[in-house]
Structure 1
Amino acid sequence: MPIDRRELMLGAAASAWIMPQTVLAATTGHSAKPFPLAAIRLRPSDYATAVEVNRLYLHRLSPDRLLHNFRKYAGLEPKAELYGGWESDTIAGHTLGHYLTALVQTWEQTGDGEMRQRADYIVTELAEAQAKRGTGYVGALGRKRKDGTIVDGEEIFPEIMKGQIKSGGFDLNGAWSPLYTVHKLFAGLLDVHAGWGNAQAMTLLVGLAGYFERVFAALDDAQTQEVLGCEYGGLNESYAELYARTGDRRWLAMARKLYDRRVLDPLAAREDKLANFHANTQVPKLIGLARLYELTGAEKDRTAATFFWERVTGHHSYVIGGNADREYFTAPDTIAQHITEQTCEHCNTYNMLKLTRHLYGWQPDGALFDYYERAHLNHVMSAQDPSTGGFTYMTPLMTGAPREYSTVKDDAFWCCVGSGMESHAKHGESIFWEDDAGGLIVNLYIPADADWARRKAKLTLDTRYPFEPESRLTFTRVKAGRFPVALRVPGWAAGKAAVTVNGSAVTPVFQRGYAIIDRRWIAGDTVAITLPLELRIEEASGDADTIAILRGPMVMAADLGPASVKWDKADPALVGSDLLAAFTPAATPGRYATRGIGRPADLEFVPFYKQYQRQSAVYFKRFSDAAWVRQEAAFTAEQARLKDIAARSVDTMFLGEMQPERDHGLTSEISYPVAYRGRNGRDARSGGYFEFAMKTKPGPLVLQATYWGDERSRTFDILVDNVKVATQTLNADKPGQFFDVDYPLPEGLTRGKAQVKVRFLPHDRSSAGPVFGVRLYTVKPGVTV
């Protein structure tokens, strides 16, 4: 059944940042489109700084180094050495696609002519590589053979056409997400073509599109679905866009074929089955469906895209607007159980903002931009370090977890480096919109100058929002006439916006999350809006006593000190009956100190996004005074328990840490160190194992292993000196916590031995662990095991 705007927005109102006040039953029927990026010039602000830092970063990168594999695998001599990180792995080439898009966007946003020259140069180089191959294919992705050598990834596609398909979530016949990499190149070339009509880019696109049309033509439906089980990015969107540019229905058919039924059919049926799916693998698929809806009007595509957006923003997102823990969606409304050092992959939010723009363009509603603003300010802006130009992969929300940025060595090239260089090239893209009736919409309060072609107008938006409450829009030039100006009133403002025109108070019409002033405008007119930037509390879904503090759209964080000093203290808590009354504003806007409510001490609160090289606390446990007394008692009891076990411990193994693993003679196959919620561990995949030695002593002993309580289903055996002592199944049995499992050992297994070998062995098609530590301890006297 098709979803209408009212259903969408009423569902989204469950989200903490989409308030019911912004949702109206009536719709206008208007669509909207953003001002072209080239029509916007940012005025001084943190956003303008981010664009400039990113522009210099793009200059720092070498096109020839990014082109290394494209030339090498085509049989041409590379012109520069290969970059490291992901660009030296089988996913090589994805960065060049992002780079092309970022070059186009930076040229549009800043007018830097070098950006356009570099993009044209890269297209010329790619055309040479495509011609040398002679198949239409061009690419840099690799394929890892069984001996570990990496070769030209194109060799997997003839195998796939023969039905020889080995597809996993991220591996396809030995290549790392190859169609994802193809999509990035496809998207970059589309942007170069759109930017200034580069005809050579279109030639490249048609050749590349035809190559993969032939690959998929060789597959039956079941084989197609098997291939699509491996991440393919938004390749459906690229084919849809190619159809829009050329009118060739071959490309529309391809866009339709790239449809992962396992993920997309439930969404089209308005079913949330997102838990345990890799998050960023899915978002681009929905962007593709959104583009297909725009081109074909298919309601099923619209339903899937809108339902997905509503579920993710309202039921799977953190306070900063990001989503996913360890890259995966969890069960809906369980954020409080997943506040870790691996939250909020940047690529996810980059793509969610793209999806939001599609939905907004169909039927504008300010509530959509309430989400957009939050994620853009708090997540995207935190993901770039302005001192280095580096990017985060994750933006951790666990207390004391520092952000990790890519370095000036340019040796990472994660996916989020690619989406990062795009995100910070285009901070002006969503400030101003116009609806199809000729009205002006201001969606983001970011200082900027703009040209509005339709009204032959020049606009200036002056503001220090979100640090100061007023934003002032001036028509420095305009073809005089009557039209509406809609200024977004965020849901958290609860309708308390004050509007003036030329300094005099006016009473606007409040509709769809906007204050609307409809009048005859002339050059020199100024309209200003003042929004109440008050502190407020938001509860994390899953636990009403896990809270965050916001000021207007801005997430606040307790500053815990420099990232270079490891945080090893207890997580701070907030105690009291009226927490916000204990916040005192500092002389600098956007900074506060608490009085009497912080435990173990009071705190200074600052904007989260600015904590680039600092440690933060974002989520806090909230207690009444009486509850805090009980909490302290429980904490004391738990510390006593741990102290007792430590006193009886014979040996302790800290898995995932280099020196302890060496000291205990760890051996392994298909096994990897992991880190989660500040604890190191290790797992083993199907066909692998890990094993290590532990000291013993006479008497009954207990082997204890620590696990995380939300692991997806897996089963493994635990062996001591090759004797199975237990079979362990993990299946999200203890949500939101680490837990210990004790395995009493038969005395005969350790009698007379100075040490034993402990092995974790996964069952077929399963994993062992992760295990976050193993301990061998003596049984308490008088206790029978």
Structure 2
Amino acid sequence: MLLGRRAFLLSSATVPMLATPAVAQIGAGLPAKAAPFPLSAVRLRRSDFARAVEVNRDYLLRLSPDRLLHNFHQFAGLPPKAPVYGGWESDTIAGHTLGHYLSGLALTHAQTGCQECATRAHYIVAELARCQAANGDGYVAGFTRKRKDGTVVDGKEIFPEIMRGDIRSAGFDLNGCWVPLYNWHKMYTGLYDVIDHIGPSPQAMAIMTGLGGYIDRVFAALNDDQVQTVLACEHGGINESFAELYARTDDPRWLKLAERLYHKKVLVPLAEKRDELANIHANTQVPKLIGLARLHEITGQAGYGTAARFFWEQVTRHHSYVIGGNADREYFSAPDTIAQHITEQTCEHCNTYNMLKLTRHLYGWQPDGALFDYYERAHLNHVMAQQEPVSGGFTYMTPLMTGAKREYSGRDGEEFWCCVGTGMESHAKHGESIFWSGDETLIVNLYIPADAQWAARGATLGLETAYPFDDAVTLTFTTLGKPGRFPVALRVPGWAKGHEVSVNGQPVTAARAGGYAIVTRRWKAGDKVTIRLPLDLRIEAAPGDEQTIAVLRGPLVLAADLGRADGNWDRPDPAMVGTDLLAAFRPVDAEAAQYGTTGLIRPADLTFVPFYRQHDRRSAVYFKRFTDAQWKVEEAGFLAEQARQKDIAARSVDVMHLGEMQPERDHALTSDISYPVVYRGRNGRDARTGGFFEFAMAVKPGPLILQATYWGDERPRSFDILVDNQRIATQTLDADKPGAFFDVDYPVPEALTKGKSKVKVRFVPHDKNTAGPVFGVRLFTARPATVA
């Protein structure tokens, strides 16, 4: 039997490298490859990370397995034991949470030893086996299908259609189901996690092989072009699921299926080192690359590894925000344009959850401290910001727009977004990547207080630190069953201007290789090695825009504290004005990484604090920087825009605030396949193919102008605008004004308003298009013509 994913990481098996092995690094003590300590071998000491695990465990144990199993029971013809949850669990993606929940339980059991988590996981596996047996053909799922008449039925109904070649998808739906293959990928991952972190489970393996048979039969009925049509719908890392099944069973059927599930439109350019990520859904892609990484490990095919490595490099260097997250409104923008996309819809947690998984694969192939520089940044500043630290709710997005607040899921869970699921996992495993080893080398990659068992040396390790708030980290060999000479590698982050290393209180000169300080000596029980890393303030510009900057202290992203989240933020965005910006910072509470500024911020100075701890506060992370002369120009432009808005307001007849409940009721809004949106602090509404939205607006005699507001970076789309069912304009959006909202004026023929007090305004998308989003509509009187 081939190696499973965890066994692979813990083994000394060799895989092809993506780059030439760093011989000098190996000679200095850095191994050619590495594997993490088992999660069960690590116990967190008191810290924000340990608290997050405990809060998450309480959250998991508040959830009901039977409510998550509701649809599985019902569709298998078995009586449900509890009502279904709401939110996404009552939508056509129902069932996706169960896979995440299984992973969360298994990971929490490994991280903390919680037996109740193991008991619940075993129960769910047994119930899934019961449902699968009742179906009788290997099928087991909880997702639903919405028919054209609106009836919601068992999602199994779509697969005979697909096998006949009737395949319909708009990217996230497949014949009326919401991402069914993505859904199954979550279940597979949960079952693998049960095996890896709780113990062998023939029942779980039987579920996966039985379901695999069903899925394989579906794809066997399709030609290669039809497979690509199916894969155009988000399918998660279903390729990883079958690569892993092959690794555990040695059945070539699963490898063949895994390699067939290769989405050419996205993966071929990446294998050819072409960045064509702009305007595609971000998290749809990351799991595909994790699957390719796993296939690279199994097959040795270099192309799979090349695509995974290139994708990681492009995303982390050209598509990521300062906190390590990526994407705006769930989509990648063009490389090096994130400064135009600093909104309240940035940084979906699922993306970072998956990017960290991909990072671990790449690191295992060839240790490189730069990989963990990214991992630390995203883990500390994004993942740790994602959890509400009291009740355990989760953010979907972690907004970076100035003044935006974080929105968390509820205490007992009814939303069940995708990021609720990945949140259950992320906060169950904060100890998983602290310690690594390869050959004889012990590697410390994350400076999180913890104790660990190093089985290869019969050692108990202790990692003591208040990092990132203090600069010292001490590793102690509490016990060492096999003393001897071996290297200890401590990561030196790329941002560190220097470092100091001591052993048992005495300074030593450590070797440097691959982003590590490496001490090789004969170690014995009781030895201590300490590294100190200067936690200096620094400024980091957004990729592609030197004028948009953030402030960091060591690995911590700092944010200006703008006040409580339950207040309002309706002030101008603060800016930094000056030449030596860091000179204006002074410590307020250095131990808590809090700083004040003097004469730096316009319109007024602010206090800076760690961003991830701003759970119930509003923040400013990115700032525009100006010289004094530039700021005078900026002020003048701001005043001119205020004057323009004041003039239009004075001539306004009616204003429609789309996406807001009371204004939409006041204007008698009706719609179909239309949704409210919020973007960059502005509410709006769109309509999808086959839908519309319509509302009433007051009019007055004389020439009128209908003005609609759009975001300037929309992907291509076209739609019609009608007044009382007569088209007055066709609007096409195609990145018209990057990085800005803009208004479009449409003259309204007087014949449409003559003798009326109200008209109906309607937005209708063209086929396979979206209307809008429209961020507000205004009717105002035309300015009288100027007489020459």
Same fold at TM > 0.5? yes
The partner residue of 2:134 within 132, 135, 144 is 132
Partners in 2 of 1:644 and 1:241 — Cα distance? 64
- 3-state SS, counterpart of residue 493 of structure 1: coil
Please state how far the C-alpha of 1:409 moved relative to its aligned partner. 3.3
Partners in 1 of 2:735 and 2:675 — Cα distance? 21
What does residue 162 of structure 2 align with?
160
Change (3 A) 1:582 1:752: same
Residue 764 (1) aligns with residue 767 (2): yes
Give the 5 Å matches for 1:223-242: 223-242=226-245
What does residue 11 of structure 2 align with?
none
Residue 731 (1) aligns with residue 734 (2): yes
RMSD across aligned positions (CA)? 1.9
Residue 5 (1) aligns with residue 5 (2): no
Partners in 2 of 1:586 and 1:461 — Cα distance? 28
Q: Contact 2:710–2:772 at 8 Å: present in 1 too?
A: yes
What does residue 94 of structure 1 align with?
96
- 3-state SS, counterpart of residue 327 of structure 1: coil
| Cα displacement string for residues 103-128 of structure 1 (whole angstroms, at most 9, x for unaligned residues) | 11111111111111111111111111
The partner residue of 1:314 within 300, 317, 322 is 317
Mark the runs of 5 or more structure 2 residues left unpaired by the alignment. 1-15
Partners in 1 of 2:648 and 2:662 — Cα distance? 23
| Cα displacement string for residues 21-41 of structure 1 (whole angstroms, at most 9, x for unaligned residues) | x99999967110000101100
The partner residue of 2:672 within 669, 673, 696 is 669
Please state how far the C-alpha of 1:600 moved relative to its aligned partner. 1.1
What does residue 414 of structure 1 align with?
417
Partners in 1 of 2:126 and 2:89 — Cα distance? 21
The partner residue of 2:592 within 589, 593, 607 is 589
Give the 5 Å matches for 1:615-634: 615-634=618-637
Partners in 1 of 2:279 and 2:20 — Cα distance? 29
What does residue 343 of structure 1 align with?
346
Partners in 2 of 1:117 and 1:451 — Cα distance? 25
The partner residue of 2:218 within 211, 215, 218 is 215
Change (3 A) 1:409 1:23: same
Please state how far the C-alpha of 1:676 moved relative to its aligned partner. 0.6
- 3-state SS, counterpart of residue 327 of structure 2: coil
Change (3 A) 1:168 1:716: closer
Partners in 2 of 1:39 and 1:105 — Cα distance? 12
Letter of the aligned partner of 1:293 in structure 2?
H
- 3-state SS, counterpart of residue 187 of structure 1: helix
- 3-state SS, counterpart of residue 5 of structure 1: coil
Deviates more, 1:222-231 or 1:28-37: 28-37
Please state how far the C-alpha of 1:410 moved relative to its aligned partner. 1.2
Please state how far the C-alpha of 1:757 moved relative to its aligned partner. 2.2
Residue 118 (1) aligns with residue 132 (2): no
Give the 5 Å matches for 1:265-664: 265-435=268-438, 437-478=439-480, 479-494=482-497, 496-587=498-589, 588-664=591-667
In the alignment of these two chains, the number of paired residues is 769
Letter of the aligned partner of 1:5 in structure 2?
A
| Cα displacement string for residues 249-287 of structure 1 (whole angstroms, at most 9, x for unaligned residues) | 111111101111111011011000011111111100000
What does residue 183 of structure 2 align with?
181
Partners in 1 of 2:83 and 2:734 — Cα distance? 46
Change (3 A) 1:184 1:763: same
| Cα displacement string for residues 639-690 of structure 1 (whole angstroms, at most 9, x for unaligned residues) | 0111011111111111111221222222222222111111111112222222
Residue 780 (1) aligns with residue 783 (2): yes
Q: Contact 2:401–2:621 at 8 Å: present in 1 too?
A: yes
Deviates more, 1:29-38 or 1:520-529: 29-38
Residue 250 (1) aligns with residue 264 (2): no
Letter of the aligned partner of 1:121 in structure 2?
Y
Please state how far the C-alpha of 1:781 moved relative to its aligned partner. 3.0
Change (3 A) 1:283 1:32: same
Partners in 2 of 1:589 and 1:771 — Cα distance? 43
- 3-state SS, counterpart of residue 561 of structure 2: strand
Change (3 A) 1:82 1:748: closer
Please state how far the C-alpha of 1:248 moved relative to its aligned partner. 0.8
Q: Contact 1:6–1:25 at 8 Å: present in 2 too?
A: no
Letter of the aligned partner of 2:383 in structure 1?
V
Partners in 2 of 1:251 and 1:784 — Cα distance? 78
Partners in 1 of 2:354 and 2:226 — Cα distance? 28
Q: Contact 1:24–1:512 at 8 Å: present in 2 too?
A: no
Q: Contact 2:317–2:543 at 8 Å: present in 1 too?
A: no
Letter of the aligned partner of 1:757 in structure 2?
K
Q: Contact 1:651–1:695 at 8 Å: present in 2 too?
A: yes
Change (3 A) 1:409 1:728: same
What does residue 33 of structure 1 align with?
35
Partners in 2 of 1:118 and 1:263 — Cα distance? 38
Partners in 2 of 1:576 and 1:62 — Cα distance? 55
Deviates more, 1:582-591 or 1:309-318: 582-591
What does residue 190 of structure 1 align with?
192
Partners in 2 of 1:739 and 1:484 — Cα distance? 59
Change (3 A) 1:516 1:29: closer
The partner residue of 1:691 within 684, 691, 694 is 694
Letter of the aligned partner of 1:550 in structure 2?
L
The TM-score normalised by the length of structure 2 is 0.95
Please state how far the C-alpha of 1:155 moved relative to its aligned partner. 1.5
Partners in 1 of 2:348 and 2:471 — Cα distance? 30
Partners in 2 of 1:498 and 1:29 — Cα distance? 22
Please state how far the C-alpha of 1:190 moved relative to its aligned partner. 1.4
Partners in 1 of 2:25 and 2:340 — Cα distance? 30
The partner residue of 2:712 within 709, 712, 728 is 709
Letter of the aligned partner of 2:751 in structure 1?
G
Please state how far the C-alpha of 1:79 moved relative to its aligned partner. 1.1
Mark the runs of 5 or more structure 1 residues left unpaired by the alignment. 9-21
What does residue 4 of structure 2 align with?
none
Partners in 2 of 1:215 and 1:534 — Cα distance? 57
Partners in 2 of 1:51 and 1:190 — Cα distance? 21
| Cα displacement string for residues 374-410 of structure 1 (whole angstroms, at most 9, x for unaligned residues) | 0000000000011111011110000111101111131
Q: Contact 2:717–2:770 at 8 Å: present in 1 too?
A: yes
Partners in 2 of 1:123 and 1:765 — Cα distance? 41
Letter of the aligned partner of 1:309 in structure 2?
W
Letter of the aligned partner of 2:214 in structure 1?
Y
Letter of the aligned partner of 2:335 in structure 1?
P
Partners in 1 of 2:131 and 2:176 — Cα distance? 23
Q: Contact 2:26–2:32 at 8 Å: present in 1 too?
A: no
Letter of the aligned partner of 1:146 in structure 2?
K
Change (3 A) 1:683 1:170: same
Please state how far the C-alpha of 1:756 moved relative to its aligned partner. 2.3
Change (3 A) 1:285 1:547: same
- 3-state SS, counterpart of residue 310 of structure 2: helix
Deviates more, 1:762-771 or 1:68-77: 762-771
- 3-state SS, counterpart of residue 495 of structure 2: helix
Runs of 4+ that moved beyond 6 A: 22-29
The TM-score normalised by the length of structure 1 is 0.96
What does residue 749 of structure 1 align with?
752
- 3-state SS, counterpart of residue 769 of structure 2: coil
